[in-house]
Amino acid sequence: MKRTMKTLLLLVAVVAAALLFSGCSSTQNVGVLDVNKVMTDSPKVKQFQDQLNTKGKELSDQLEKDKPNISAEEFQKRQEAAYNEFLKMKQDMEGQIDTSIKQTLEQVAKDKKMSIVLYKNGVAQGGTDITDEVISKLQ
């Protein structure tokens, strides 16, 4: 009985060691993405930001133009409506940006055969920085 138990424990230890070493020896390409850099350097993101700024200015200008001709209560209502319209547009654009970044990131990771992509702010060292490639393909 003791011999069977020792043999079983030895077998389990050998299998565990084999799994551990095979997992450690496999090469995995790890990509690193700096999302902040993508958000500041990408022409596509800048285009969305410009559109949002233009819409915000249009709404603000229209409110200022109408202000002398409407009551304070009506101005307050229009201001809230304009703000809500601006927020909705901002959320839509953020969703579009997020989708574009994810699609581009997936394509770059696939092209570079990367099994893992991490955000740069969570990585102390290591990995291949793919930020510039994502920015260039995001257009």
pLDDT in tens, 16-53: 554 455 554 445 688 888 888 988 999 988 998 999 99
Domains of the chain plus CATH, in order, are 2-137 (3.30.910.20)
Q: 52-75: per-residue pLDDT in tens?
A: 999 999 999 999 998 899 998 999
> Which pLDDT value is given to residue 3?
59
| pTM recorded for the entire structure | 0.65
**Is pLDDT at 131 greater than 90 in this prediction?**
no
State the number of CA atoms in the 13 A half-sphere of 10 facing the CB: 6
pLDDT band at residue 85 under the 50/70/90 scheme: very high
pLDDT band at residue 10 under the 50/70/90 scheme: low
Q: 90-129: per-residue pLDDT in tens?
A: 999 999 999 998 999 999 999 989 888 888 877 667 778 8
**Lowest-confidence pick of 13-17, 77-81, 99-103, 133-137:** 13-17
Instruction: Return the number of other C-beta atoms located less than 10 Å from residue 55's C-beta.
Output: 16
> Which pLDDT value is given to residue 1?
55
Distance CA 9, CA 76 (A): 76
